[in-house]
Amino acid sequence: MRLDDLLAISAANHERLCPRQVLGVRMGLAAGRALELDVPRRDKRLLVFVETDGCFADGISAATGCQVGRRTLRVIDYGKVAATFVDTWTGRAVRVAPGSNVRQRARAYAPEADDRWQAQLLGYQRMPDDELLTIQDVQLLFSLERFISTSGHRVECQLCGEEILNEREVVRDGVILCSACAGEAYYACPYDNPAQSIETLATLGVEGNRPPQRFPSQLSLPRVEAETSESWSRG
């Protein structure tokens, strides 16, 4: 698809097209070329880790076809306009980010722009890849196979009873727990009783103050917790 068509797809989810959407689309297209993959894709061969959310991520999605709902787009929130693109068939990964001083250099490619915002909007569409972006091969610090998980895998947390998908359970002393019950919750309920939870864990034979046994593929945002550098390829 042409750049203009992909930008229109991204802008359809917003009030207007913005410079970060353009960066997202350009980065997605450049990653496809670097990995020698056609984009946007309809299959799940390409997996993308974006390092911030917002309009930039929508540009990535428009260019690659990767989406959260298809488990091919993940947010690792570093607060950076950058993304790592992974060919899940070969295991090869490239990280793409804007080059240095691209905001300033965009002006040279949009002399007709009335302000900096317009200069970035137009300049990012016109700048060559080697001036706009940095592209480098990287290695994932966790097992890609375990991260993708096995289709249909599901277990129940033995403390709260909620279902856990995609091998994201935590095993502590042989007891299956969700991340929240294992002490890694990002939320708290007003009726939670920590003492009762510890007592319940004790009845299951689990020491409440022990660190969890993590699966190698488990992610803990905003950083990736890595316990293995096992590489994986297929196809």
Tens-binned pLDDT, residue by residue, of the chain (235 aa): 899 999 999 999 898 999 999 999 999 999 999 999 999 999 999 999 999 999 999 999 999 999 999 999 999 999 999 999 999 999 999 999 999 999 999 999 999 999 999 999 999 999 999 999 999 999 999 999 988 988 789 999 999 999 999 999 999 889 999 999 998 899 887 656 655 565 666 676 666 545 444 433 344 444 433 333 333 333 3
Supply the pLDDT for residue 223. 40
What are the beta bridge partners of residue 46? Answer: 87
Domain boundaries along the sequence of the chain: 3-141, 150-203
Select from 3.30.2320.50, 3.40.718.10, 3.30.1330.130, 3.20.20.140 the CATH code of 3-141. Answer: 3.30.1330.130
Whether the Cβ atoms of residue 212 and residue 184 lie closer than 8 Å to each other: yes
DSSP string, 58-115: HHHHHHH---GGGT-EEE---S-S-EEEEETTT--EEEEEEPTTHHHHGGGG-TT-SS
DSSP string, 92-103: -EEEEEEPTTHH
**What is the per-residue pLDDT across 208-221, written as a single tens digit (0 to 9) for each?**
545 444 433 344 44
Supply the pLDDT for residue 54. 94
Burial 19-35 (b: 16+ CB within 10 A, else e): bbbbbbbbbbbbbbebb
User: In the 8-state DSSP scheme, what is residue 172?
Assistant: E
CA distance 136 to 152: 34
